[in-house]
């Protein structure tokens, strides 16, 4: 299909959905004139930034339909759960939360309860909700969020659970309405899906194969964000640095970063998540040359043993990973590195685990997101056998946390008495009298001073903790 044909289909899809949005909005306004009651919607998001980004679109569509946002179930006319299936405990939590709404639905039969997202791309999860949670009104997946108004309107008139799941990805619909939680920074999805099929991961089955957005659409979106007050963008994708491989033009992730770096008004560029195999020399060069790209890289290594990396289908070795880290540290001195690590993957012995600790000690990550392996039905790893006991896995996990926390703390100590640029996020959640924000390296800084959300201020670090820094705003020539 040509770009023009895609734009035409996109236009038609949006027009149809927008007509439905207007119809629902009109009904809500008519009801308001009769009852004086404003309508509310609550969107509850589980899982990764991609889900947050999808939820912002759902909130955007609901807002145009006339639903204000609420955090209170009792007040809500619509409650949507945007689900994650990466870990088992997120699934269990979801079932608990849906079950807890049964009495509310009895009290308020017009309440619409919906479940969407990754979990709903799995048959067993949909069956479970159909059978055990009959008070759910609608179920839809990850591939048809753009049709939410249509699905929602049907559900408003149906008595049974409406299910609308697409098995295939379809094409990317641009320009959906978005209700962003923050104005000064934004998530920008640049690609969908993943082609890697790591043996433990459910993502390629529920989010489909890699589809990159057209660069022009991404640039246009970021320019619009700037007009709206945005200063920092985080580019999102399950495997963000493989962006562009499916495009019909010669244009990769590094090229995209160059373009975004030249947009006036954008001060900071971040991206996640990167796969080590796609961390090219070209990308490292761009990161070192573009002043707006933050000195932070999230580079999951998952396991240190080459035997386990092979079983995981990660397609790199421990040595290759360490070599790439060496190159990036040389090119960008002071870069903060963060990672994801799985402990207790099937087949992992304590000896294998020592390789994981070895990488942690050698790289010295600023932070690591650590997990004990969680079996996901439908993945190859679910069929693999465990070698060590749950107790041993827990013991190894605790050792990992201890080693990593010490390193995180030591790195943070090096920030003490130095001045860093911080993008102000607003008052701290735990103490409204102090502000909070992040350094370019992604460190959370709580600080005293006078500044507005979205300001870039210089903060002198006075005190450090394992997960955050405390400081005070200083004038640029003060030290």
Give me the residues that bind ligand SF4 (CB under 6 A), please.
194, 196-198, 201, 203-204, 238-239, 275
Residue whose CB is less far from ligand SF4, 122 or 238: 238
Contact 211, 240 (CB under 8 A): no
How far apart, in whole angstroms, are the C-alpha atoms of residue 327 and residue 280? 10
Closest CA to 91 of 47, 25, 56: 47
Residue whose CB is less far from ligand SF4, 299 or 445: 299
Nearest approach, Cβ of residue 376 and ligand SF4 (Å): 10
Nearest approach, Cβ of residue 349 and ligand SF4 (Å): 22
| 3-state SS assignment for residue 334 | coil
How far apart, in whole angstroms, are the C-alpha atoms of residue 82 and residue 86? 13
Nearest approach, Cβ of residue 381 and ligand SF4 (Å): 11
Residue whose CB is less far from ligand SF4, 149 or 347: 347
Q: Say how many C-beta atoms besides its own lie within 10 A of residue 153's C-beta.
A: 17
- Listing DSSP states for 81-113 in one string gives EEE--SSHHHHHHHHHHHHTTHHHHHH-TT-EE
Residue whose CB is less far from ligand SF4, 45 or 239: 239
Residue whose CB is less far from ligand SF4, 17 or 274: 274
**Strand partners of residue 377:** none
Nearest approach, Cβ of residue 405 and ligand SF4 (Å): 24
Nearest approach, Cβ of residue 207 and ligand SF4 (Å): 8
Nearest approach, Cβ of residue 295 and ligand SF4 (Å): 23
Contact 266, 277 (CB under 8 A): no
Contact 423, 410 (CB under 8 A): no
Residue whose CB is less far from ligand SF4, 196 or 305: 196
Residue whose CB is less far from ligand SF4, 295 or 340: 340
Nearest approach, Cβ of residue 382 and ligand SF4 (Å): 14
**Which residues lie below 8 Å from residue 241, measured CB to CB, with a gap of 6+?**
253, 271, 274, 275, 278, 279, 280, 283
How far apart, in whole angstroms, are the C-alpha atoms of residue 342 and residue 325? 19
């Amino acid at each position: 299909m040509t770009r023009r044909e895609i734009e035409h289909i996109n236009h038609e899809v949006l027009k149809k959905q927008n007509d439905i949005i207007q119809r629902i909005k009109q009904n809500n306004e008519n009801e308001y004139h009769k009852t004086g009651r404003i309508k509310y919607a609550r969107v509850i998001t589980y899982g990764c930034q991609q889900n947050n980004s999808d939820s912002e679109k759902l909130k955007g569509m609901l807002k145009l339909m006339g639903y204000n946002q609420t955090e209170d179930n009792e007040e809500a006319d619509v409650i949507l759960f945007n689900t994650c299936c990466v870990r088992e405990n997120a699934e269990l939590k979801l079932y608990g939360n849906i079950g807890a709404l049964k009495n509310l639905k009895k009290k308020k039969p017009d309440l619409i309860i919906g479940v969407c997202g990754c979990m709903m791309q799995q048959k067993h999860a949909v069956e479970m909700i159909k059978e055990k949670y009959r008070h759910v009104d609608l179920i839809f997946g990850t591939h048809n969020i753009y049709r939410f108004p249509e699905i929602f309107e049907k559900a408003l008139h149906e008595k049974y659970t409406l299910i609308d799941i697409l098995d295939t990805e379809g094409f990317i619909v641009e320009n959906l309405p978005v209700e962003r939680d923050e104005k000064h920074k934004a998530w920008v999805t640049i690609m969908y899906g993943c082609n890697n099929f790591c043996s433990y991961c459910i993502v390629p089955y529920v989010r489909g194969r890699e589809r990159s957005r057209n660069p022009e659409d991404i640039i246009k979106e970021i320019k619009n964000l700037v007009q709206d007050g945005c200063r920092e963008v985080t580019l999102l994708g399950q495997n963000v640095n493989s962006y562009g491989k499916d495009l019909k033009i010669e244009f990769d992730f590094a090229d995209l970063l160059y373009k975004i770096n030249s947009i006036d008004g954008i001060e900071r560029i971040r991206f996640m998540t990167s796969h080590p195999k796609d961390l090219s020399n070209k990308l490292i060069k761009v990161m070192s040359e573009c002043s707006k790209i933050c000195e932070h890289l999230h580079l999951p290594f998952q396991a240190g043993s080459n035997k386990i990396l092979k079983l995981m289908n990660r397609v790199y070795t421990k040595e290759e990973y360490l070599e790439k880290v060496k190159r990036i540290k040389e090119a960008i001195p002071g870069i903060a590195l963060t990672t994801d690590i799985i402990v207790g993957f099937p087949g992992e012995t304590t000896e294998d685990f020592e390789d994981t600790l070895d990488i942690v000690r050698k790289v010295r990550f600023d932070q690591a997101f650590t997990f004990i392996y969680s079996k996901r039905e439908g993945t190859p790893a679910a069929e693999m056998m465990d070698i060590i006991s749950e107790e041993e896995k827990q013991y190894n996990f605790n050792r990992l946390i201890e080693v990593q926390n010490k390193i995180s703390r030591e790195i943070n100590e090096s920030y003490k008495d130095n001045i860093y640029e911080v993008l102000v996020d607003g008052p701290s959640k735990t103490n409204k009298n102090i502000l909070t924000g992040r350094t370019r390296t992604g460190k959370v800084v709580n600080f005293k001073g006078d500044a507005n959300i979205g300001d870039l201020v210089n903060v002198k670090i006075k005190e450090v903790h394992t997960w955050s820094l405390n400081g005070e705003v200083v004038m640029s020539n003060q030290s």
